[in-house]
């Protein structure tokens, strides 16, 4: 196992090939800056060619930024039966070199099936194309990396030919020979057998791995590859990529550094890993997977009562690394599966004072949570409602207004999309007045939200900054049909903070109204508008 491992990021190309992802030039430049700041060794920008204006422009613009990583242009070997000086693939890469890009990565066929049936050349012609392409590009680049496409499938089909491909690329001057599992179906046992054989045949070569995740083994195989002698790992942030994705660098990097003791980046940069992961998801406009190892919101989240109690006493009991080492944090969820330990930690956090595990409030809240969750409440995504529940049970919550009535009318009135009109009647405890108002909206919940903002906005101006960020409805008892209970989860945002609230009822409008009320109450609570003077 080598002490020097280079990390090669392909998010801007492989990641951009994922379904639902379409990175703009600005997106690519932002991600490249973040990758460079984190400390990856290579950033592959994409495939420069006349039909791909974004990738071509990337190589022109990236040199204007303070990028510390090496920037790699990507392409393929020359076409069969073309002159190297006239080949369009090679010509595009030569043109990209004029932008100051010092590294070029090309892929070539290492599987006879692809050589003969896909690009329609003889096996020897394929070898000649690989050698000629690398040698030619070294006249324009400081370094050429060779990606042996479909290497593992090619090796299983014809080991001698696959090895000959690597030998040809090495002799031509490639700095790294990267073994690609392009179809992503490789199991660890196969990977180890083939990699060991390659290492014996290519003793002096710098071997790398580029693995896809179609069998769910890309990260495991990448880590095993490093343990067996690979000196470069290619992958993407969060594992985004075509089909099932690429090897996830946000899993591989901390595993290599924190588990195997390799120094890839500084401890300070490693503590920014989650920030990098979330930023790339945001820029790519895709949801950040909460269940990602190391960097997901759930990676250090404990729900079972025994687990929460154990991790409070000794974090090693249920956590494999300190969450802070990768920029994450521990969460103890309060639910019907919680013990007093999780409730205790939640109360300490929101009340900001020491509380004993045997205090009455701990048992009271635990009992209340279990009762409500049995009825369909779900506090994992509704921490604001849970916090309000605590203050209500402690008798320090003062509702700023009370609901007298509400209703929603859907008026189609001959148009394709009906107009939702909400009418509400509330009693404002601040002014001691009854307020009766109405508002329209895009759907019943939006109409209720608009009516509520209209009713209380004069006395609580900051409430106008609150908007609904997400709205989810789930039927809890499908067998009861339209009589079933429904759970409504609302995520609200005021431009700075986000919070979740919940409502449960057989009436979807009532459930939505209750979740909406809690959202407003929580905003006012945080501004000190709805609590008594009690010291808690």
Say how far apart CA 227 and CA 213 lie, in whole Å.
Answer: 19
Across 54-63, 241-250, 271-280, 305-314, least confident range:
305-314
- CA–CA gap between residue 412 and residue 198 (Å, rounded): 70
Give alpha helix (H) positions in 394-493. Answer: 444-456
Per-residue pLDDT band for 367 (boundaries 50, 70, 90) equals confident
Superfamily of domain 6-265: Aldolase class I (3.20.20.70)
User: Which residues are within 8 A (CB) of 529 and not within 5 positions of it... i.e. 6 or more apart?
Assistant: 400, 460
Q: Does 387 have pLDDT greater than 80?
A: yes
Q: In this predicted structure, what is the pLDDT of residue 310?
A: 61
Is the pLDDT assigned to residue 171 strictly greater than 70? yes
Res 437 pLDDT > 80: yes
Confidence tier at 190 by pLDDT (50, 70, 90): very high
Mean pLDDT score of the chain, rounded to an integer?
88
Q: Using CA atoms, how far apart are residues 148 and 267, in angstroms rounded to an integer?
A: 33
User: What pLDDT, on a 0 to 100 scale, did the predictor assign at position 125?
Assistant: 96
Quote the pLDDT of residue 334: 63
Residue 516 banded pLDDT, cuts 50, 70, 90:
very high
pLDDT of residue 70: 97
C-alpha angle 458-472-366 in degrees, rounded to nearest 5:
85
SS3 annotation, 175-198: CEEEEEECCCCCCHHHHHHHHHHH
More confident residue, 314 or 258: 258
Residue ranges per structural domain of the chain: 6-265
**pLDDT on residue 532:** 45
How far apart are alpha carbons 445 and 472 in whole angstroms?
11
431-457 per-residue burial string, b: 16 or more CB within 10 A, e: under 16 = eeeebebbbebebbbbbbbbbbbbbbe
Give the dihedral of Cα atoms 439, 440, 442, 445; nearest 10 deg: 40
Rounded mean pLDDT, 176-203: 97
pLDDT, residue 339, reads 58
Q: Using an 8 Å Cβ cutoff, are 134 and 78 in contact?
A: no
- What pLDDT, in 10s, does the model give residues 121-138? 999 999 999 999 999 999
Q: Above 60 in pLDDT, residue 274?
A: yes
Residue 177 · residue 155 · CB < 8 Å: no
Neighbours of 360 (CB within 10 A): 9
CA quadruple 259, 262, 265, 266: dihedral sign:
positive
Nearest-10 crossing angle of helices 218-228, 188-201: 30
Confidence band (pLDDT; 50, 70, 90) for 536? very low
In the structure, what pLDDT confidence band is assigned to residue 118 with cuts at 50, 70 and 90?
confident
Helix (H, G, I), strand (E, B) or coil at 211: strand
> What's residue 306's pLDDT?
56
pLDDT band at 525 (very low <50, low <70, confident <90, very high): confident
Over 50: is that where the pLDDT of 371 sits? yes
Mean pLDDT across 201-220: 97
- pLDDT 10s digits, 288-341: 898 999 999 888 776 655 555 565 566 666 677 889 999 987 766 565 455 566
Residue 124: exposure state from Cβ atoms within 10 A (0-12, 13-18, ≥19)? exposed
Give the pLDDT band (50/70/90) at residue 217: very high
Reported as a single tens digit per residue, the pLDDT across 484-502 is 788 999 999 888 888 999 9
Look at residues 70, 68, 22 and name the one whose alpha carbon lies nearest to residue 45: 70
pLDDT above 50 (res 533) = no
Tokens of 261: 């003791």
Assess whether pLDDT exceeds 90 at residue 173.
yes
Using the structure block, give the residue that is written with the tokens 């324009």.
Answer: 140
Q: Is the pLDDT of residue 433 over 50?
A: yes
- 155 has pLDDT over 90: yes
* Average pLDDT, integer, range 459-467: 84
């Amino acid at each position: 196992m080598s002490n020097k491992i280079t990390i090669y990021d392909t998010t801007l190309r492989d990641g951009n090939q994922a379904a639902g992802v379409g990175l703009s030039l600005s997106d690519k430049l932002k991600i490249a800056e973040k990758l460079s700041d984190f400390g990856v060794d290579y950033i592959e920008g994409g495939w420069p060619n006349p039909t791909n204006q974004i990738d071509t422009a990337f190589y022109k613009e990236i040199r204007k930024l303070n990028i510390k990583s090496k920037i790699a242009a990507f392409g393929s070997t020359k076409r069969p039966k073309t002159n190297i000086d006239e080949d369009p693939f090679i010509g595009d890469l030569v043109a990209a070199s004029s932008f100051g890009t010092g590294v070029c990565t090309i892929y070539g066929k290492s599987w006879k099936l692809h050589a003969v049936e896909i690009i329609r050349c003889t096996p020897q012609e394929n070898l000649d194309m690989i050698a000629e392409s690398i040698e030619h590009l070294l006249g324009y680049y400081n370094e050429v990396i060779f990606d042996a496409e479909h290497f593992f499938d090619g090796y299983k089909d014809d080991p001698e030919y696959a090895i000959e491909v690597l030998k040809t690329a090495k002799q031509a001057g490639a700095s790294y020979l990267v073994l690609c599992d392009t179809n992503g179906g490789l199991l660890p046992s196969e990977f180890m057998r083939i990699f060991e054989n390659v290492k014996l045949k290519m003793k002096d070569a710098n071997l790398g791995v580029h693995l896809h995740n179609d069998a769910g083994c890309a990260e495991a195989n990448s880590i095993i590859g490093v343990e067996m002698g690979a000196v470069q790992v290619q992958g993407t942030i969060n594992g985004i990529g075509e089909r099932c994705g690429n090897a996830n660098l946000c899993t591989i990097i901390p595993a290599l550094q924190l588990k195997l003791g390799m120094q890839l980046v500084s401890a300070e940069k490693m503590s920014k890993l989650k920030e990098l992961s979330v930023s790339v998801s945001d820029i790519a406009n895709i949801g950040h997977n909460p269940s990602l190892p190391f960097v997901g919101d759930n990676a250090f989240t404990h729900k079972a009562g025994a687990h929460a109690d154990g991790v409070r006493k000794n974090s090693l009991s249920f956590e494999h690394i300190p969450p802070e080492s990768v920029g994450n944090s521990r969460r103890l969820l309060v639910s019907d599966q919680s013990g007093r330990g999780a409730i205790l930690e939640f109360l300490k956090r929101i009340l900001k004072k020491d509380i004993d595990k045997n205090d009455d409030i701990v048992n009271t809240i635990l009992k209340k949570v279990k009762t409500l969750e049995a009825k369909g409440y779900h506090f994992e995504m509704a921490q604001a409602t849970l916090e309000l529940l605590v203050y209500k049970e402690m008798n320090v919550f003062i509702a700023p207004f009370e609901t007298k009535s509400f209703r929603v009318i859907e008026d189609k009135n001959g148009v394709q999309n009906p107009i939702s009109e909400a009418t509400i009647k509330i009693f404002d405890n601040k002014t001691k007045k009854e307020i009766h108002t109405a508002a329209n909206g895009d759907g019943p919940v939006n109409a209720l939200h608009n009516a509520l903002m209209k009713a209380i906005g004069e006395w609580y101006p900051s409430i106008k900054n609150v908007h609904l960020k997400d709205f989810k409805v789930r039927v809890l008892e499908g067998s009861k049909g339209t009589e079933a209970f429904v759970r409504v989860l609302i995520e609200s945002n005021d431009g700075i903070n986000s919070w979740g609230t919940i409502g449960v009822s057989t009436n979807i409008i009532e459930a939505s109204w209750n979740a909406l009320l809690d959202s407003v109450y929580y905003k006012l609570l945080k501004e000190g508008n709805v609590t008594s003077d009690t010291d808690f």
